[in-house]
Amino acid sequence: MAFVNLKDLKANVGGQLRLTLNSAGVYEEKEWQGKKFNTFKYEVIQDNTISTLDATDALKRKLDEIPQGSDFLLSWEQFTTDSGELRNYWKVEPTDKSSANPVFENVKKSINEFDQKLQADKAVKQAVETTNQAYSNPARMGMIFNNTIKLYIANDMIWTTDEFVNNFKRVEAWVEACENPKAIPQASKPNEPVSEESVEIKADDLPF
């Protein structure tokens, strides 16, 4: 089984290892250069690999403060005492799994928001292009204009410019209603020719 190299971590003061506590500490007594000392063997997960962490009493006290299954950051820190002495200590900083890659989560959220905005922009662009195609179609505009002229003539060509424009829009609304049955015409139907009442002439009044 792999092991966590605490010697290298001590050489890199302030450097952090991200680990997951996977077991309680198992007591062992070891001897080095004729001296005996206590150690506690923990099982941790590092980079999806189960490893062994040998902790002394000082580190054990820190590890025993967090529950099994917790993620934590382990580092070797130093500080200067009031008397000017340089001291070191183990720092165990509990963390949660959601903060394992906060940058990635923020980027992912930004991408989703950008994608939604892009889809909305595409829908608006498509609607504008469809409208532009309809209004820039010469045949369509000519047909509307010709029918408006017919109405203009039928009404003795007495419309003002504004009246002609309004009746042009009415004809256009009818065309749009036919192209899209769900659309509601924007105005009432175009002006119809004014019909004149027929005059009855008696036979006696005829010149022949």
Tell me, what's the pLDDT at 205?
Answer: 44
Kindly report, residue by residue over 20-66, the tens digit of the pLDDT: 888 888 888 877 777 887 888 899 888 888 888 888 888 889 898 98
User: Quick one: which of 53, 49, 48 has its CA closest to 66?
Assistant: 53
Tell me, what's the pLDDT at 206?
Answer: 43
pLDDT at 14 over 70: yes
Kindly report, residue by residue over 61-100, the tens digit of the pLDDT: 989 898 988 899 988 898 888 888 888 888 988 987 655 5
Tell me the CATH architecture of domain 2-99.
Answer: Beta Barrel (2.40)
* Mean predicted lDDT score pLDDT of the chain: 76
* pTM for the full predicted model: 0.43
Kindly report, residue by residue over 105-127, the tens digit of the pLDDT: 455 555 667 667 667 767 666 66
Tell me, what's the pLDDT at 127?
Answer: 60
Structure tokens at 206: 């005829």
Q: What SS3 string covers the chain?
A: CEECCHHHHHHCCCCEEEEEECCCCEEEEEEECCEEEEEEEEEEEECCEEEEEEECHHHHHHHCCCCCCCEEEEEEEEEECCCCCEEEEEEEEEECHHHCCHHHHHHHHHHHHHHHHHHHHHHHHHHHHHHHHHHCCHHHHHHHHHHHHHHHHHCCCCCCHHHHHHHHHHHHHHHHHHHCCCCCCCCCCCCCCCCCCCCCCCHHHCCC
**Residues 145-172, mean pLDDT to the nearest whole number:** 86
